[in-house]
Structure 1
Amino acid sequence: MSLLQALSNNIAEIVEQAGKTIVSVKANRRFSPSGIHWRQGIIITSDESLKQYDDITVTLANGNKTSISLLGRDLSTDIAVFQIENPPIPVATIGDAGNLKVGNLVLALARSNEGDICAAMGAVSVVSGAWRSMSGGNIDQFIRPDIALYPGFNGGALVDTVGNIIGMNTSGRGGTALTIPASTINRVVEQLLTKGRIPRGYLGLGMQPVRLPENLKKSLNLASSVGVIVVNIEQNCAADNAGILLGDILVSFDSSSIEDTNDLLALLNDSSRLGKSVKVQVVRGGELIELDVTVLERNTAEG
Structure 2
Amino acid sequence: MSVLEQVSESMAEAVARGGAGVARVEGHCSRSSAVVFGSDGLLVTAAHALEGREAVDVALGDGRTLAGKVLGLDRGTDLAVLKVDATGLAAPEWSDTVSVKVGHLVLTLGRPGRGTRATLGMVSAVGEGYRTMAGGTIDRYIEVDGSLPRGFSGGALADASGRLLGMNTAGLGRGGGTIPTETLRRMVPELAANGKVDRGYLGVEVVPGRLPEGLVEAAGQRRGLLVAALEPGGPAELGGLLQGDLLLAVDGQRIERPGDLVAVLGGRVRASITVRIIRAGEPREVVLTTGAR
> Is the shorter-chain TM-score for this pair beyond 0.5, marking a shared fold?
yes
- The residue that corresponds to 1:301 in the other structure is none
Pick one of 231, 243, 247 that aligns with 1:246. Answer: 243
- The residue that corresponds to 1:295 in the other structure is 290
Contact kept in structure 2, 1:208 and 1:230, CA below 8 Å? yes
* Cα distance in 1 between the residues matched to 2:139 and 2:214: 38
Q: Which sections of structure 1, spanning at least 5 residues, go unmatched?
A: 299-303
Question: 1:56-114 CA deviation, whole Å, 9 max, x = no partner?
Answer: 10111132211100011111111111111114531121111222111110001111332
* Cα distance in 1 between the residues matched to 2:254 and 2:126: 26
Q: How does 1:126-141 map to 2 (within 5 A)?
A: 126-141=125-140
For the residue of structure 2 that corresponds to 1:81, the secondary structure is strand
For the residue of structure 1 that corresponds to 2:76, the secondary structure is helix
Distance 1:249 1:148, change over 3 A: closer
1:108 equivalenced with 2:90 (yes/no) = no
1:281 equivalenced with 2:276 (yes/no) = yes
Question: 1:145-203 CA deviation, whole Å, 9 max, x = no partner?
Answer: 11442221111100012221111112268852321111122222122123321011121
- The residue that corresponds to 2:54 in the other structure is 54
Contact kept in structure 2, 1:201 and 1:269, CA below 8 Å? yes
For the residue of structure 1 that corresponds to 2:165, the secondary structure is strand
Q: 1:215 Cα shift? A: 3.1
Distance 1:274 1:175, change over 3 A: closer
* Cα distance in 2 between the residues matched to 1:29 and 1:214: 53
- The residue that corresponds to 1:169 in the other structure is 168
Contact kept in structure 2, 1:207 and 1:261, CA below 8 Å? yes
For the residue of structure 1 that corresponds to 2:98, the secondary structure is helix
Contact kept in structure 2, 1:26 and 1:58, CA below 8 Å? yes
Q: 1:134 Cα shift? A: 2.5
- The residue that corresponds to 2:67 in the other structure is 67
* Cα distance in 2 between the residues matched to 1:191 and 1:172: 20
Give identity over the alignment, percent: 36
- The residue that corresponds to 1:29 in the other structure is 29
- The residue that corresponds to 1:7 in the other structure is 7
- The residue that corresponds to 2:182 in the other structure is 183
* Cα distance in 2 between the residues matched to 1:89 and 1:173: 28
* Cα distance in 2 between the residues matched to 1:234 and 1:34: 36
RMSD of aligned alpha carbons: 1.8
Kindly tell me the number of residue pairs found equivalent between the two proteins.
292
Distance 1:148 1:196, change over 3 A: closer
Distance 1:51 1:260, change over 3 A: same
Q: 1:49 Cα shift? A: 2.0
Q: 1:236 Cα shift? A: 2.8
* Cα distance in 1 between the residues matched to 2:172 and 2:138: 16
- The residue that corresponds to 2:90 in the other structure is 90
- The residue that corresponds to 1:266 in the other structure is 263
TM-score, normalisation: structure 1: 0.90
For the residue of structure 1 that corresponds to 2:191, the secondary structure is helix
- The residue that corresponds to 1:212 in the other structure is 211
* Cα distance in 2 between the residues matched to 1:183 and 1:174: 20
* Cα distance in 1 between the residues matched to 2:52 and 2:286: 41
Letter in 1 for 2:269: L
Distance 1:65 1:173, change over 3 A: closer
**Which contiguous aligned blocks of 4+ residues in structure 1 show a shift greater than 6 angstroms?**
none
* Cα distance in 1 between the residues matched to 2:290 and 2:172: 32
Deviates more, 1:277-286 or 1:191-200: 191-200
TM-score, normalisation: structure 2: 0.93
Distance 1:57 1:87, change over 3 A: farther
Letter in 2 for 1:287: E
